[in-house]
Amino acid sequence: MTLHYSFPKDFWWGSAASATQTEGATNKKSKTIWDHWYETEPNRFFEGVGPEVTSDFYNRYKEDIKNMKAIGHNTFRMSISWARLIPNGVGKVDQDAVNFYNDVIDELIKHDIEPFVNLFHFDMPLALQEKGGWENREVIDAFVDYAEKAFDLFGDRVKTWFTFNEPIVPVEGGYLYDFHYPNIVDAKKAIQVAYHTMIAHAKAVELYHARFDGKIGIVLNLTPSYPRSQNPKDLKASHICDLFFNRSFLDPAVKGEYPEDLIQLLSEYDHLPTTEKGDAELLKNNTVDLLGVNYYQPRRVKAKDYLPNPNSPFMPDWFFDNYEMPGRKMNPYRGWEIYEKGIYDIMINLKENYGNIESFISENGMGVQNEERFIENGRIEDDYRIDFIKEHLKWLHKAIQEGCQVKGYHLWTFMDNWSWMNAYKNRYGFFSVNLETQERTAKKSASWFKDVSEQNGFND
C-alpha cells in the first residue's frame, strides 16, 4: 500500500515522560523542590494533588512498557530523578534507584524500545536548591558528577542522552513569573540561572564525548515568535521575544555562542550574567549532537501598547506585548492556540540557520479536561487528539520532504501523568489512568498510533 504520508526508514515513533510526573515517591530517599513546595503550599496544585503517587510508574513500569510495545513504540524518552539516584544531590548513589533504572532500561530493550534518557526535567534536589540551585555555580559541579554517575551506570545500554528538558521553563517559572518553586521574581537571577544551566549542559556534553560512545543533546521547547504585522516595530518585538525565549538556549547549544544582540540588550540594561574565564571556549567546543524539539503552541507578539513602568522590575515583557490573533484555532481546555504549521517553521529555521542539525519532535500533545465525557463502550474516543497529531505530522512530513533532518516524533505522553501545578487537570496520554485504581486503559489514539507506527506513516 502506498501511503500519502510516509516517513523515513527507522523513524522514531514513541512518547516522552519524566520521572517526577510518573514515578511517584516510592523508595525515594530525598526530596525534590516539588515535594517540598507541595508540602508547604498544596493550594497551588490543582485539586490539591501532589507528586507522591502520580502514575505509579515505579511499580507498574513492566505493564506500561508492554503497552508501549503493543502500540508500536520503538523509542521512549524518560528522565532520571537526580534526587532518587543520588539522595540530596551529592554523594553516593542509592542502590534501590540503580536497580529500578536498570530494570526499566532493560525492560525497554527487551521489548525493542530504545531508551532515550534525560538527566534533568525541572526536579532540582531540595538540598541543592537550599544552596541556591542553579543560581549557585557549585551546583554545576554536582550536576556534572551526577551526569557522570548516570553515564557510568547506564551508558553501556543507553546511547541517546539529553542533559536538560525545556531549560527555559525553570527560568520563567522559578525566577520570572512565579509558577515554579522557588517563586522568585528577579530577572538578574533568572539570567544567571539560565547561564549556569548552559554551562552545566556544556560540561556534561564535554564529559560524555570524552568518555562515552553515543549521542548527547538537549531538549528545547521552541516556540516561534510570530509578529502581528510586518511593521518594523512588530518585527523588532518578535525578534527580541525570540532572543529571550528560544535563542537564549538554542544558539549556545547548537552554535556554541550567544546571539550578539542578546548580549548587547542585557548589557544595556545591566543584566549580563557573571561568567568565568574559559566559559566561552567550553560552550564553543561542546555543541550538541542531536536536538529534541518540544512544540505545543506558537507565541504571537506585537509592539508594546504602553511603555513599561520605569520603576517596575526588568522583564522580557518590557519589549513586547502578547497578541491574540483573531480567528485562531484553540484548545479551550489548556487555553493554547493550535497552530500546526509552527512545527514546520521550526524545522525550516533549524535547516536554514542551525546547520540542519539532526532533530526530532521530543514532545507534542494535547491536554484535555474531563476526557471521560468521550467514553463510548469503555474507551475514550479521542478523535480530537488523533486530528491534532495527524495535522502536526503532515507539516513535519513536509519539512522532511524539504530536506530537514527530522528523525522522529514523540507524543507527550504515553499515559496520563501528573503535570506540575496542573496535576491531573488536563489529560495527555495514549492511555488513561484511573487515579483511584491506577488502571490503564488505551484510548482510541493508541490504536491509531499503533497503525501509524507499524506502517511508518498514514493516509489522510
CA 74 from chain center: how many Å?
19
- State how far the Cα of 256 lies from the Cα of 158, in Å rounded to an integer: 25
Mean pLDDT of 369-384: 96
The pairing of strands 12-16 and 406-412 is parallel
pLDDT per position as a tens digit, 48-72? 999 999 999 999 999 999 999 999 9
The predicted pLDDT at position 336 comes to: 92
Residues near 380 by Cβ (< 8 Å), separated by ≥ 6?
Answer: 371, 372, 374, 432, 441, 443, 444
Q: Identify which of 59, 201, 36 has the alpha carbon closest to the alpha carbon of residue 119.
A: 201
Q: What are φ and ψ of residue 221, in 5° steps?
A: -85, 100
* DSSP-assigned beta bridge partners for residue 219: 165, 292
Q: Is 10 helix (H, G, I), strand (E, B) or coil?
A: coil
- Whether 427 has a pLDDT exceeding 80, the answer reads yes
Looking at residue 59, its amino acid is N
Looking at residues 174-196, what average pLDDT do you find?
98
Cβ proximity of 15 and 414 under 8 Å:
yes
Report the chain's C-alpha Rg in angstroms: 21
Q: Tens digits of per-residue pLDDT, 128-140?
A: 999 999 999 999 9
CATH number for the domain including 438?
Answer: 3.20.20.80
- 22 phi/psi in degrees, rounded to 5: -130, -35
pLDDT of residue 332: 84
pLDDT tens for 359-374 read 999 999 999 999 999 9
Is the pLDDT reported for residue 310 higher than 90? Answer: no
Q: Tell me what the mean pLDDT of segment 262-279 comes to.
A: 98
Residue tagged 538556549 (cell numbers): 249
Contact 251, 259 (CB under 8 A): yes
264-279: average pLDDT: 98
Q: What is the pLDDT of residue 2?
A: 77
Range of the domain at 294: 5-458
Q: Which three cell numbers stand for residue 146?
A: 551526577
3-state secondary structure of 73: coil
| Domains identified in the chain, total number | 1
Asked whether 245 and 315 are in contact (CB, 8 A), the reply is no
Residue 363: active-site member: yes
Report whether 28 contacts 81 (CB < 8 A): yes
Cα separation, 214 vs 211, in Å, equals 10
CB contact at 8 A, 262 and 292: no
**pLDDT tens sequence across 209-251:** 999 999 999 999 999 999 999 999 999 999 999 999 999 999 9
Instruction: Give one DSSP letter per residue of 230-256, joined into a string.
Output: SSHHHHHHHHHHHIIIIIHHHIIIIIS
pLDDT tier at 199, thresholds 50, 70, 90: very high
Q: What is the pLDDT of residue 3?
A: 81
Q: What is the mean pLDDT of residues 253-260?
A: 98
Mean pLDDT along residues 76-87: 98
The proportion of the chain whose per-residue pLDDT surpasses 90, expressed as a percent, equals 98
**CB hemisphere CA count around 338 (13 angstroms):** 19
pLDDT at 254: 98
Interhelix angle 383-401/444-455, nearest 10 degrees: 20
- Is residue 320 within 8 Å of 302, Cβ to Cβ? yes
259-274 mean pLDDT: 98
For cell 511603555, the residue is: 307
Q: Which of 135, 166, 363, 371 is catalytic?
A: 363
CB-CB contact of 214 with 160 (8 Å): yes
Cell readout for 10 is: 527507522
At 29, the pLDDT band (50, 70, 90 cuts) reads very high
In which band, very low, low, confident or very high, does the pLDDT at 1 lie, cut at 50, 70 and 90?
Answer: low
pLDDT of residue 334: 78
Q: What is the mean pLDDT of the chain?
A: 97
Three-class SS string for 195-211?
A: HHHHHHHHHHHHHHHHH
